[in-house]
Structures are given as C-alpha cells and as structure tokens.
Amino acid sequence: IIFLDEPTTGLDPRSRHNMWQIIRELVADGATVLLTTQYLEEADELADRIAVLNGGKIVAEGTPDQLKRQIPGGHVRLRFTDPDAYRSASDALRDAAARDDEALTLRIANDGSQRELRALLDRLDAAGVEADELTVHTPDLDDVFFALTDPTAALPAQPKEHVR
C-alpha cells in the first residue's frame, strides 16, 4: 500500500504526467495507492474510486463516472459573431436557451447524447442558422465537488468544455 498526499503539487505539466504514469505502473504491478489530491483532473485520471470530503466527512463515494452522473449541468454553448444569426438562433431556441446578449452566446441544457445534439442542430437548421462555435459541456469532477460541498453555489464560471 502506497500513500500519496498531493503528489503533483507544484509540478510542471510534463512532470505531472510522468508522475501519473509512475502511479499507473505501480497499480498495474499490484500496488494499492491511496491518493489525496485537490486536483480533480488528477483524481479523474488516476482513481478507480473517489471519496469527496466536506467538513471532514465523506459526502459521496464512487467511481468518477458514477459521481459525474449524479450531477446535472450538461449543456451546449453556441457562440455567434453575427448579431442577426444570434437573434435568429435565440428565437428558434427561445424555450430552451439561456442568453448572453453581450457575448452573443446561447446555453442550452443538453446531455451531450447524439439524439439531443441532433435535435438541437435540426432546430438550428430549420431556422437556417449556423453557430460559429459549438461546445459541449458534460459534468466533471469540479462540478461534482461544487454541487456536493455547497449545493447553493453556482457552478464555475468557465466550465471545462470540449470545442468542436
């Protein structure tokens, strides 16, 4: 059994990835690793099971995927450069989109499935609108942490998104 407390704090990205590889090799060779970290990307990358602590107590436990499935918050973000296209998309998605008129972006609740993405894109096609950028956000461990440690807190302002 190996206990690692914040093993990558202060490491540059290359060194962090090298450390992650060493930890994976230890586990592959049969070692049990108990890792404490505040870097949730690290926990997602390395952990088979995660326990989330709040106030010194475990508030959730499970695999990274199990924890992420418990949290709502998946969405699609559409960004426009043309104000007319933005208004047309906003009208077409009136019932489903949260608007940011300054940034010309729309945020639509969406689980990221092919079915839901296709339905969203079909609505935009029917309106004759094309977004300049489409990003899909699925809940990550940061979202899990925020939801479990302070359910009234807003999710991070800059969610981790996958640009397409």
For residue 110, pLDDT over 60 is answered with yes
Report, as an integer, the average pLDDT of 12-16.
Answer: 97
Q: What is the pLDDT of residues 66-107, one digit of tens each?
A: 999 888 778 999 999 999 999 999 999 988 899 999 999 999
Query: Average pLDDT in the 3-16 region?
Result: 96
Q: What is the pLDDT of residue 163?
A: 43
Overall pTM > 0.85: no
CATH of segment(s) 75-137? 3.30.70
Instruction: Give residue 138's pLDDT.
Output: 87
Q: pLDDT value at position 162?
A: 43
Task: Check whether 164 has a pLDDT greater than 50.
Answer: no
Domain ranges of the chain: 2-70, 75-137
Q: What pLDDT band is residue 4 in, cutting at 50, 70 and 90?
A: very high
Instruction: Give the model's pLDDT for residue 153.
Output: 55
Which among 8, 63, 17 is positioned nearest to 36, based on CA atoms?
8
Query: Percent of the chain having pLDDT more than 70?
Result: 91
Least confident range of 23-37, 50-64, 143-157: 143-157
**What average pLDDT does range 31-54 have in this prediction?**
95
The class that CATH gives domain 2-70 is: alpha beta
Instruction: Give the span between the Cα atoms of 47 and 45, in whole angstroms.
Output: 6
Q: What percent of the chain has pLDDT over 90?
A: 75
**What distance in Å separates the CA atoms of residue 100 and residue 102, rounded to the nearest whole number?**
6
Region 2-26: mean pLDDT is 96
140-151 residue pLDDT tens = 999 899 888 886
Secondary structure (DSSP) of 35-90: EE-S-HHHHHHH-SSEEEEETTEEEEEE-HHHHHHT----EEEEE-S-HHHHHHHH
